[in-house]
Chains A and B, each alone.
Chain A
């Protein structure tokens, strides 16, 4: 039974594909659920962080003596309290400034005190002597030869010969194949345009929060809201210079992450304060700190050129994408470049990405990191090109769409993928042919995300009463515990209610990679299924023992052990509960495990249709209708799949028309709060219709594909296409805020 044939397209499911109530639901509607800031410990202190007011400054000295002398202050830490030899020097530098403060909000010192008010007063007593340096926050400015240089050690990687002068361009990436120049010479029509997108923030409603309880010998516990508590453990151990085994990290309920909680900010600081004070320390970011000092997205500038024949065949495509990634290298220029043309089969394609550092907080992942900006510019040109050759934009996309067996623009060949299916659904959808009102326009866009697999460990225990305790190590950010329970129940042939899933702490389960890249339902799901199969093998062995026959003569069907056939003997089937009840006398506890570095995640595609209305007098954009069509492979819990579709679309709407990091001439962030950085509210949005397409992923036993990321890839372009249609002029810069739209309309008159 361990070699179940892997033919997902033929499978019938009992519970997978239903939408039961989530196991953590009651806690979350009653206020019982414990998030990052909700934990307390006896003797707990309050930790607070002093942050640089300068975008770029040399730190001549830090005098903490007055703060340390204040009554009620138990510890003050600076860079000297961390392991200077830590493995990741950029993270070390980002969590606490060293020679220089590199952005407005960069941490420079921290205190632990007996109360909020004492901690606040202590911060005011810390004296930092800054030498203010010239700064740069714009990506194009930062790439200029005379720009202020952040790091002496960055010499652009990926160019030959390697530069001899340091610059802000950390790396150049290039992907593609064919002969682009020849391809363009074959084109009947070519469209080439430049685009810009502003930096946005994931905007999770829960600020970063953690509670550290570290003994003087460095052993201890951390409680925090994170997408990856094993990552927190390994990174904090390295930054503190202690053994990984000494630190036990528990992931709290997490109040949104979207990629922004895939690294550490305050966790090592709280741990260092706790170690120094010898008491538990809680650190909670304010919203201002979240905006200034966590990890927003890259801002970008880009140039796209696509050529096509009159029949709609794309002959060549080229993209050049510049990603502003904040104070340290690592902007997703590579992912963006790889994603930019992934929706299309191209004979000639070249994509180039630049990873650029500036005096802004280091970017972090935000849902399909790098992809939405690339799709915005590419899909805007695709829509325009379709218009120029007089072809329906969906037909144009279908003609060039990624298909099974074709080579992708970033290298590998596609396996079974569902882009054409989403486009066909879009074409047939009533939304696509619905009439438009005055000042309204319709736009379409496709989107792609790779989907991740990665290191995963899962454990499944059969309880004495026949229920099942499932331990996974990937924090649940969107209802994944329900999906895990469904997959375990499906495999074991029992009811959903009989399985309960928890997120185990780092000392209770093997290593798990971060919850990111839409990997959890795929990878933890796969590991859960395999752990269930492992336990089924053991359940069958126990049944064989009870019947005194060979284990090979036992099969598992519909939640019961049964004799494999007439030759095996005549026995009444044994239920999981019956076998569990006899566990003590048949060999002890029954559990299944699985550890894997999961591959075969299965790429995901989507097509979005958007209607927007533009007020010609104010330039205000209102999205009036929205439809998401996406391939989920197999929707394990359809209601949460829809939720991922809708959430990604809503964040995309904010990114497209509203959200923007605004820096002043002084290099300081001017809108570090939810009043001035306005994310969509309920009255801004329409209902968001969804259509789940299911083209099975051959890399998963049930055909599952991750769904979280792809949903944010098409919205920027789909909305830009709809606004451009409504305004009668091509919008090339995000966000499409009223002044920007009005300017475009006026200039077009």
Chain B
């Protein structure tokens, strides 16, 4: 099968890969590049477990083709911590017990980081609607919302 050559930037690194024309960015990240932090929960853009940033925009990587990443910049959960220092959101999620099984956590964290970059002082309702595209089946969202609000307050104070 014909493969496309792609040059892109992932978490700041220059990356090249070959992919089939119908392969999603999610498949490329997971199967070709070993970046398995993004998860496939549905493959149809309904669950948000595969959330990544593409040129600074929050996307479901299952709805983006691998070939579309040419000359773009991708950020994944693997790029969120700075070496051994966790991002404040990552720390707060642990502190607030905002995860149970953890399968939705990478997507929720990526989505939340995007929210706080756009809106550092969101209301509870704004957080709930922003995260409406990220399904979590374990927590009932309560502790996730609290972790996000608490991080936002901390980051505004910092």
Contact = CB atoms under 8 A, between A and B. Distances in A.
Interface of A: 19, 21-22, 24-35, 37-38, 40, 115-117, 202-207, 253-258, 284, 286-287, 477-479, 639-640, 642-643, 646-647, 649-651, 673-675, 679-685, 687-688
A205 B22 contact: no
Nearest to B22: A117
A646 B142 contact: yes
Specify the main secondary structure of chain B where it touches its partner.
loop
B142 A35 contact: no
A681 B135 contact: yes
Interface in B15-34: 20, 22-23, 27, 30, 34
Contact of A674 (B37, B47, B97, B140): B47
A31 B46 contact: no
B145 interface: yes
Interface in B124-158: 125, 127-129, 131-145
Contacts of B37: 30-32
Nearest to A118: B1
A646 B100 CA distance: 11
Contacts of A256: 100-101, 103, 137-138
B137 A683 contact: no
A287 B134 contact: no
A29 B94 contact: yes
Among A253, A254, A647, which residue has the most Cβ atoms of chain B within 10 A?
Answer: A647
Interface string B104-120: 11100100000000000
Specify the main secondary structure of chain A where it touches its partner.
loop
A253 B138 contact: no
Interface string B30-57: 1000111111111110110100000000
A22 B94 contact: yes
A477 B145 contact: no
Contact of B90 (A29, A207, A646, A682): A29
Nearest to B95: A21
Contacts of A647: 100, 137-140
Contacts of B102: 24, 27-29, 33, 253, 255
A674 B76 contact: no
B128 to A, nearest CB: 4
Given A674-B41, A681-B131, 13 more contacts: A25-B99, A26-B86, A29-B94, A29-B109, A31-B38, A31-B106, A206-B41, A255-B104, A286-B43, A477-B101, A680-B140, A685-B141, A688-B140
Given A640-B97, A647-B100, A683-B129, A205 B136 contact: yes
B77 interface: yes
A205 B101 CA distance: 9
Contact of A643 (B77, B132, B134, B139): B139
Contact of B42 (A40, A287, A651, A684): A287
A273 to B, nearest CB: 18
B144 to A, nearest CB: 7
B42 A31 contact: no
11 contacts: A205-B136, A256-B137, A646-B143, A647-B137, A647-B139, A649-B140, A651-B137, A679-B135, A681-B132, A682-B144, A683-B129
A631 B1 CA distance: 59
A700 to B, nearest CB: 22
B38 A205 contact: no
Among B40, B93, B136, B137, which residue has the most Cβ atoms of chain A within 10 A?
Answer: B137
Contacts of B41: 205-207, 255, 287, 674
A355 B69 CA distance: 52
A477 B102 CA distance: 9
B123 to A, nearest CB: 12
A673 B36 CA distance: 23
A29 B99 contact: yes
Nearest to B77: A31
Nearest to B103: A255
B71 interface: no
Nearest to B76: A31
A40 B1 CA distance: 22
Contacts of B42: 287, 673-674
A643 B99 CA distance: 9
Contacts of B68: none
B81 interface: yes
Nearest to A651: B137
Contact of A478 (B23, B30, B49, B100): B100
A286 B41 CA distance: 8
B5 to A, nearest CB: 18
Contacts of A683: 125, 128-129, 131-132
Contacts of A25: 94, 99
Contacts of B36: 31, 34-35, 37-38
B80 interface: yes
B103 A35 contact: yes
Nearest to B94: A25
A287 B30 CA distance: 17
A691 to B, nearest CB: 14
Contacts of B81: 30
B140 A205 contact: no
Contact of B140 (A206, A207, A646): A646
Contact of A682 (B22, B43, B128): B128
A479 B76 contact: no
Given A22-B94, A682-B131, A206 B103 contact: yes
Nearest to B79: A31
Contacts of B86: 26, 29-30
A649 B129 CA distance: 20
Among A29, A117, A284, A685, which residue has the most Cβ atoms of chain B within 10 A?
Answer: A29
Given A35-B39, A682-B141, A29 B93 contact: yes
Nearest to A201: B137
Given A675-B44, A682-B128, A206 B101 contact: yes
